[in-house]
Structure 1
């Protein structure tokens, strides 16, 4: 992650393609479907956006309802975003931010794209969203580069890394006081999904994961990189965690179930089907007396 204030994140990539091609792919809903979205709708022209246009962008179990704030062809494109992330119980809460795409041409062959997201909240969930979105954009920009340079759309491969069925973030000052784990020395579990690998292994909200198969995971970015290393692997993993100041270990099988990867059909119908599925599971779990709650009374999914 590029070092910057905590209210923003920045990703930079260099693409071997003319600036006109990169611009069209990034700044139009028609182009977005080539590398990023399952479905992209606009209130305006799908090939020529203008200020005030409203976008509805579907990425699996996430919807982004955006408005075009600035449009300067081949230089700058700015959106006001409202990401809706589906929780384990099917509820949805918006996360508003502003995303700027700056384009620079290097001769006829290369384009530098700088993507900056601003407006993250300063609380734990703002931190979680920042960490998730920065890594999500890292993968999406890699896919943009692959699509334009190689003609290969790798989004399913890039995002179908195995999961534990948790919502997690890097331990911050508040969680350090609660758990005794120093800041930046583990991943705090905000939510544990029902019937996911973590829950089946006995992990719970408030635990801190510090290592996977002996590899330290001091922050969210490292956690995702280590878990991604098990892509296409079916071997169980050993999770080292801290609970109430005591270290423990548990052996788990990772999963690529759509509830945990979020790779559902990116449409209203697909969203509704998944929402009902999660609501049903939440109801069954509540009936058994095992209700999960996160710190702020909101549930989010990874």
Structure 2
């Protein structure tokens, strides 16, 4: 029986603002609404240890408890996530997120540490890579808000979607297809959603995508960056992938459908309701 090894991830951003100002963004309901999400429910404006809060970000609900609030240096939440997927199912998981603020000359170093990932869990591998990239995007938007007065969250997160749950393929997954991990890297498809661009292009769970839009995608981050570079274009995107060790090619037409972009509000509607509404319109 394998032991569950719990691991953590780190994301950092240097912001040209005082710690007090950044703290307002990270640890108050009003501040979160300036850069992260429009829906934050908290008992008090300044969140304190013991407070229970609900943060809704697109198709994800986080019912969190504040574990520590040491203004303006440290803010820690115990997160209970419930994420709605494009096949109308949910995934649930718990993590601990810590924000640390450190002054460095005229900048503030913001570090987000997320702890509690199970390295033996396929779900947690996907959640970890999504979370790491998502916090980089969110911290970047906070930097834009504080330094330039620009809230570009919908531009930052508004890239077209392929309709998959994917993560960086492990060496074991590559070897299982007879591939050499020193020569081939890519993204393992954990899930391909029905009627998605990926499904229509013939992709299946277990496929390993190595190239997307003419760019190699050896990691999850590179995969998301390649999706972002496809924004604003309506041309089919070339996809090179491996199945059973065979190198295959296809094309996909990406989608901005809110069933795939995470714009479904899980507190008001389900994916099925949105899909039924579309079919009847």
For 1:27-106, list aligned pairs within 5 A.
27-42=27-42, 44-46=43-45, 48-106=46-104
2:210 and 2:7 mapped to 1: Cα distance? 25
The 8 Å contact of residues 210 and 240 in structure 1, kept in 2 or not, is answered as: yes
1:168 and 1:78 mapped to 2: Cα distance? 28
Q: Which runs of 5+ in 1 are unaligned?
A: 282-302
Cα RMSD after superposing both structures = 2.0
Please report how far the alpha carbon of residue 275 of structure 1 lies from its aligned counterpart in structure 2 after TM superposition.
Answer: 5.1
Please report how far the alpha carbon of residue 16 of structure 1 lies from its aligned counterpart in structure 2 after TM superposition.
Answer: 1.2
1:182 and 1:172 mapped to 2: Cα distance? 11
* Correspondence 1:225 to 2:222: no
Per-residue CA deviations over 1:243-289 (Å, capped at 9, x if unaligned) read 1111110011111111111123x4622xx2435346x69xxxxxxxx
In structure 1, the residue corresponding to 2:99 is in which secondary structure?
A: strand
Aligned residue number for residue 111 of structure 1: 108
Please report how far the alpha carbon of residue 41 of structure 1 lies from its aligned counterpart in structure 2 after TM superposition.
Answer: 0.5
In structure 2, the residue corresponding to 1:33 is in which secondary structure?
A: helix
The 8 Å contact of residues 19 and 104 in structure 1, kept in 2 or not, is answered as: yes
For 1:1-302, list aligned pairs within 5 A.
7-42=7-42, 44-46=43-45, 48-107=46-105, 109-122=106-119, 123-183=121-181, 185-264=185-264, 266=265, 268-269=267-268, 272-274=269-271, 276-277=273-274
Please report how far the alpha carbon of residue 106 of structure 1 lies from its aligned counterpart in structure 2 after TM superposition.
Answer: 3.5
2:6 and 2:167 mapped to 1: Cα distance? 14
Distance change in 2, residues 1:38/1:14 (3 Å) = same
In structure 2, the residue corresponding to 1:111 is in which secondary structure?
A: strand
In structure 2, the residue corresponding to 1:113 is in which secondary structure?
A: strand
In structure 2, the residue corresponding to 1:120 is in which secondary structure?
A: strand
In structure 1, the residue corresponding to 2:118 is in which secondary structure?
A: coil
Please report how far the alpha carbon of residue 105 of structure 1 lies from its aligned counterpart in structure 2 after TM superposition.
Answer: 2.2
Please report how far the alpha carbon of residue 93 of structure 1 lies from its aligned counterpart in structure 2 after TM superposition.
Answer: 2.3
Please report how far the alpha carbon of residue 85 of structure 1 lies from its aligned counterpart in structure 2 after TM superposition.
Answer: 1.3
2:145 and 2:161 mapped to 1: Cα distance? 25
1:13 and 1:223 mapped to 2: Cα distance? 21
Per-residue CA deviations over 1:107-130 (Å, capped at 9, x if unaligned) read 5x5321111111111121111110
Please report how far the alpha carbon of residue 55 of structure 1 lies from its aligned counterpart in structure 2 after TM superposition.
Answer: 1.1
Give the length in aligned residue pairs: 270
